[in-house]
A and B are shown apart, each in its own frame.
Chain A
């Protein structure tokens, strides 16, 4: 089963990349961009076929390695 893990800086954690992207968008003439947060996406292809078990496994992977939960939050969804 394929899953998508999305990792973003936690609210309140400085996101200089997001800020720089927002500034670049404004410089390109895109108006009305209130906020940009930049993170990463990790695609997992797991042997597990049970969606509940697969999601639980992906959450554990995110907790232990994929995200640093001190500074990042993550979501797991079927891909």
Chain B
């Protein structure tokens, strides 16, 4: 697994992702600056990490989506390469049109910095193969614009084609309104592209990959990617 992590001005979770990937795969990922126009040869996985690229100007992710490196990321995705977007990375994938929908301001208008529980909605993918279908795991989240929105036709298509990756759930694995802190449509926390090669999610599995961090709940994502 050769991974490349993209750095935009304002990205701040790149080291977290690097630690998680290295722990799972034993290989140091490459760091690629947004002004680059090519990915390192042999890149299998591109990760767009969390942060506040371009200070969230205009809309979260809107500026980064048009960075020079994004043409290479699109080409990588078109070739069937793996792409993971976490938090601001998910927002960038949406703004780039690589995943459908939009991420609105949290319904409460509050920046949410807390732990949430996610349910794995589809386990047979490159991102989730090391979880059981329907498994739940804890993940930290920290975002102001994580309220997933799409029109009903798009939501029906995502569900019909089994492209919902993760949902916010309560301690009984139920997708309740109370568990859906940011107000996302149908409790959606993360989605896949139709070919299952692109995954975007708001919470941060990379921040629970070591007992020193308080748990290894997020490690299966990186073990899945390392085995992909």
By a beta-carbon cutoff of 8 Å, the part of chain A in contact with chain B is 9, 12-14, 16-17, 20, 65-66, 68, 70-71
Contact = CB atoms under 8 A, between A and B. Distances in A.
B178 interface: no
B85 interface: no
B228 to A, nearest CB: 29
B109 A68 contact: no
Contacts of B58: 65-66
A16 B102 contact: no
A67 B106 CA distance: 19
11 contacts: A9-B104, A13-B104, A13-B149, A14-B104, A14-B107, A14-B183, A16-B106, A17-B105, A65-B62, A70-B149, A71-B102
A13 B150 CA distance: 9
Contact of A16 (B62, B66, B107): B107
Interface in B93-111: 95, 100-102, 104-109
Given A13-B149, A16-B106, A70 B101 contact: yes
Contacts of B59: 68
Contacts of A13: 102, 104, 149
Interface of B: 58-59, 62, 66, 95, 100-102, 104-109, 147, 149-151, 183
A33 to B, nearest CB: 18
A71 B108 CA distance: 18
B95 A14 contact: no
A68 B58 CA distance: 10
10 interchain residue pairs of minimum CB distance: A71-B102, A70-B102, A16-B109, A16-B107, A16-B105, A68-B102, A20-B109, A71-B149, A68-B59, A13-B149
A68 B95 contact: yes
A21 to B, nearest CB: 10
Given A13-B104, A16-B105, A20-B109, A70 B150 contact: yes
Contacts of A9: 104
Nearest to A67: B59
Given A65-B66, A70-B101, A14 B149 contact: yes
Contacts of B150: 70
A12 B107 CA distance: 14
Nearest to A12: B151
